[in-house]
Structure 1
Amino acid sequence: MKLFCARFLLPIDAPPLQDGALLVKNGRIAAVGPRRALAVTHPDASVVDFGDAILLPPMANAHTHLELSHFPRWAKEMGETTSPATFVDWILQVIRIKRRVEPDRYLGALEEGIRLSLAAGTGAVGDILSWFPARAAHRSSPLKGRLFFETLGFDPERNRKILESIGTLLDEQTSGSLQLGLSPHSPYTLSASYLEEAFDFARRRRVPAAIHLGESAEERTFLAEGKGAIAEILYPHVGWAEMVPPAPHRTPVAYLEEHGALADRPLLAHGVQVTADDARRLARTKTPVVLCPRSNARLGVGRAPVADLLSAGVTLALGTDSLASNDSLSLWDELSFARQWFGDDLDGQTLLAMATRNGAAVLGLDGEMGALHPGMGCHFQLLRPGALPSLATLTDFLCEEGRSAEVASLYLDGRDVLQKG
């Protein structure tokens, strides 16, 4: 039995505590409260005093692509130094670079992504994987959450083989602490029939699903009118010129619902192009959305309508996306940017919950990670800032820039996986 103590303790589901403590017994949180009170009621507990530090749940990065963690290096090696002018230009750049990268380099990139994530206090991820052999990096990783195998395309025979190979991987269940799932890439990179088939596959196999949805105006135009840069530039570039479907005349969310994809509450990444009606659809189906504000800002695709989403009752989480469209894999960096990006639409308390409790919940870790209260697992991170705030200003302080560098320890299953001393 151990009593972990710190100057400030932030449970997320309850008000922050000054001189708080976490009592852990048999690997689970047994009590949370003032240090003095818990020390009196549990005199036999071994005390671990972190001193002038802030103790709170780990970050949960609900949408990322860790296999692209060397993307900036690859782009430089290949002379791809010009910033793409549009969303579709960026997609084309990603395609060019991925086609030239030796497959075995994805493993090293994913390993680096895991290291960077842990160093930033992240304990859970929603990781999208396109090069399936790289999953080996997760086998020895302490990260929790979900690993989604990505699929896309229009060739029925190829699609059948991909789902067969994913089915084999699901049978193996060898990806460390991560639950395996499926990620149909987006509504514009799968035929309507394959979109339905992929989600039906996930449903039959009883695995979670994730999809990029409503990320750009180009996607919205493609689904509403059947034209624009996706139809006229992207499709011809990848050999799909003859595959442009008739315009469904739907918003991305309505299109997904029409094809039965919202029935099992998939994890939706981005949600920038979402109407108020769409937000109500998502709330009605209890479908969560992962916001990736730094990626959206970098690619110039707009700002997610968080006021509409929150008003409708949609569960929101945070993600970094990949280093193909972001500067770091730190959810602390994402949180501080989001506080400025969304202004009064998202306060600090809501953002901290999105980055911890909500992220853990949408990754299937509700009751295990994301908050500090009795019954939860022993998972927390520790910050050692140069100067501590007051209890009253703690939430605002945590939303400021620079917190990522202050992560001193990350405890997962009761063990400090950073081992910084």
Structure 2
Amino acid sequence: MIRLHAPIVLPCDPACSVLRDAVVDVDASGRIGYVGPFASAPAAHLPIRALPGILMPGMVNIHAHSPMTVLRGMGGDLPLIRWLREIIWPAESLLTPSDIEAGMLLGSVEMLRNGITTSVEQYFQPEHMVRAVLASGARMLLGPAIVDTPDYDWRVQLAEVNARIDGDGLRPHERIEIAYGPHSAYTLSPEALTMIAEAARSRDALMLLHVAESHGEDAGQRAEYGSVPRLLASIGALGGRVLAAHAVHLSDEDIEIFARHDVAVAHCPGSNGKLASGIARLPELRAAGVRVGLGTDGPASNDDLEMWEEMRLAALLARLSTMDSAALTAADVLLLATRDSADAIGRDDIGALEPGRWADIVHVDTSSEAFASGLSVPNQHLLANLVWASAGRDVRDVWVGGEQVVADFEPTKVERAKVQAEAGAVTTRLRAAT
């Protein structure tokens, strides 16, 4: 139990309020007890830790393949399909379970140091993924990848996820939630997608898949059904908790389908730009009432795991695509990275500093050039400096469930140099073999 006291607290409520001279109380269970002005705080015999700077919720990265830290930099100038087929899939075929664990641990450390406390992951070897995340102290929603290739049988993979949830529940650990991760409509048949969706709905589990990421990837599905959203709707794969990653190439009808079926979208502007996949119709999605959050995608297609960059790109591209400098404000994208991302994955226990939610808290150091004008500037000015000028480098401390997992810029539960060296050794081996 502790009371964190800071000059600025950003609870990321719907109004994106700025609380000055405020506190966040963390109870014995690791949840938030009170958030508000220090002068109005309830009397409590709590140790008080005074922190300079800004307190805000941990960011929620709703689309990532973080073990791909070991593939970072490979095939950096290729479009999506060539990048996958010529570089990534051959390299991934050489990964061992311990390689995946090393890559996930590095990714988890990188995200924590950048203020990301929860990530939605789609990858293989779930036991090793979970072990890495828990070692770092982070939080994860894991959709074990389901694909149909000569090396993988989607029916076997689906049965494994079903058994995992039926045996241990959706949340086998307070920091882990299990989901379903069918890759896409171009790597799985309609029959497979239907069965996976039915399994997810029956268990109230999140289903996450790539949708309309780039031109040409799903030409067959578009030729037969008109679009991937139309395909998913026609085979009964929508409904329940569905998260569509990227969703770049959507028509007005596709957006209406998503809105009608309450499909959420993981917007990944950095990856979409690097792979020249296109610019998602973020303003139109939001106007239609589609729940949208932010994702980094994998660290081999971005190539970092930093949500400040995604916030800025989301706002910049929305403004350019509409020629409207107010299409997305600093407050809008701060909420996209926190509260809205949590809402997109159906989680009301993270993504904001509110009583009852987990105490996933980020302390932003404000001694950098980004805050040279100080913290007494008007609220809009303060938010602008945080979003447009600050970055992950300013994250000084991080708590997950009330446990401090980053202190003075460094992880507390693992040795960063060792984590980096182990992941780097995997990359070196892969480069020699490919």
Matches of 1:420 and 1:263 in 2, distance apart?
44
Q: 1:316 aligns with which of 285, 292, 303?
A: 292
CA contact (8 A) 1:219 1:252 kept: no
Aligned to 1:47: 48
Aligned to 1:194: 192
Root mean square deviation, CA, Å: 2.3
Would you say 1:149 and 2:147 are equivalent positions? Answer: no
Letter in 1 for 2:23: A
Q: 2:362 aligns with which of 381, 395, 399?
A: 381
Aligned to 2:9: 9
* 1:19 Cα offset (Å): 1.5
Letter in 2 for 1:36: A
Aligned to 1:95: 89
CA contact (8 A) 1:147 1:179 kept: yes
Aligned to 2:124: 130
CA contact (8 A) 2:197 2:238 kept: no
CA contact (8 A) 1:330 1:404 kept: yes
Aligned to 2:341: 359
Letter in 2 for 1:28: R
Matches of 2:357 and 2:93 in 1, distance apart?
43
Matches of 2:151 and 2:142 in 1, distance apart?
24
Aligned to 2:266: 290
SS of corresponding position for 2:72: helix
CA change 1:409–1:21 in 2 (3 A) is same
Letter in 1 for 2:388: E
The TM-score normalised by the length of structure 1 is 0.86
Would you say 1:179 and 2:177 are equivalent positions? Answer: yes
Matches of 1:20 and 1:2 in 2, distance apart?
14
* 1:250 Cα offset (Å): 1.8
Letter in 2 for 1:12: C
* 1:175 Cα offset (Å): 6.3
CA displacement, residues 308-341 of structure 1 (integer Å, 9 cap, x when unaligned): 1011001110000001201211112211222222
Matches of 1:350 and 1:118 in 2, distance apart?
22
* 1:159 Cα offset (Å): 2.7
Aligned to 1:340: 316
* 1:260 Cα offset (Å): 1.0
CA contact (8 A) 1:139 1:176 kept: no
Q: 1:350 aligns with which of 332, 338, 356?
A: 332
Q: 1:256 aligns with which of 207, 232, 240?
A: 232
CA contact (8 A) 2:58 2:115 kept: yes
Would you say 1:118 and 2:112 are equivalent positions? Answer: yes
Letter in 2 for 1:252: V
CA displacement, residues 365-391 of structure 1 (integer Å, 9 cap, x when unaligned): 31x211122222222100002233424
CA change 1:261–1:29 in 2 (3 A) is same
Matches of 1:157 and 1:47 in 2, distance apart?
53
Would you say 1:31 and 2:34 are equivalent positions? Answer: yes
CA contact (8 A) 1:409 1:419 kept: yes
Matches of 2:312 and 2:152 in 1, distance apart?
45
SS of corresponding position for 2:232: helix
Mapping of residues 154-173 of structure 1, within 5 Å:
158-170=153-165, 171-172=167-168
CA change 1:157–1:398 in 2 (3 A) is closer
Matches of 1:67 and 1:44 in 2, distance apart?
43
CA change 1:106–1:157 in 2 (3 A) is closer
CA displacement, residues 85-120 of structure 1 (integer Å, 9 cap, x when unaligned): x32211212112212334431111111111111111
CA contact (8 A) 1:220 1:273 kept: no
Q: Identify the range of structure 1 (347-356 vs 136-145) with the bigger mean alpha-carbon deviation.
A: 136-145
CA contact (8 A) 2:72 2:303 kept: no
CA contact (8 A) 1:145 1:363 kept: no
* 1:302 Cα offset (Å): 0.8
Question: Percent identity among equivalent residues?
Answer: 26
SS of corresponding position for 1:60: strand
Aligned to 2:432: none
Aligned to 1:301: 277
CA contact (8 A) 1:146 1:363 kept: no
Q: Identify the range of structure 1 (338-347 vs 253-262) with the bigger mean alpha-carbon deviation.
A: 338-347
Matches of 2:231 and 2:82 in 1, distance apart?
24
CA change 1:157–1:185 in 2 (3 A) is closer
CA contact (8 A) 2:136 2:405 kept: no
SS of corresponding position for 2:144: strand
CA contact (8 A) 1:339 1:399 kept: no
Would you say 1:412 and 2:400 are equivalent positions? Answer: yes
SS of corresponding position for 1:167: helix
CA change 1:326–1:155 in 2 (3 A) is closer
CA contact (8 A) 1:145 1:360 kept: no
Aligned to 2:245: 269
SS of corresponding position for 1:104: helix
Matches of 1:99 and 1:176 in 2, distance apart?
32
Letter in 2 for 1:399: V
Matches of 1:9 and 1:139 in 2, distance apart?
27
SS of corresponding position for 2:178: strand
Letter in 1 for 2:141: R
Aligned residue pairs, count: 388
Matches of 2:11 and 2:122 in 1, distance apart?
29
SS of corresponding position for 1:322: coil
CA contact (8 A) 1:61 1:355 kept: yes
Matches of 1:419 and 1:154 in 2, distance apart?
43
Aligned to 1:229: none
Matches of 1:132 and 1:201 in 2, distance apart?
18
Runs of 5+ consecutive residues of structure 2 not aligned to the other structure: 320-324, 410-434
Letter in 2 for 1:408: R
Aligned to 2:423: none
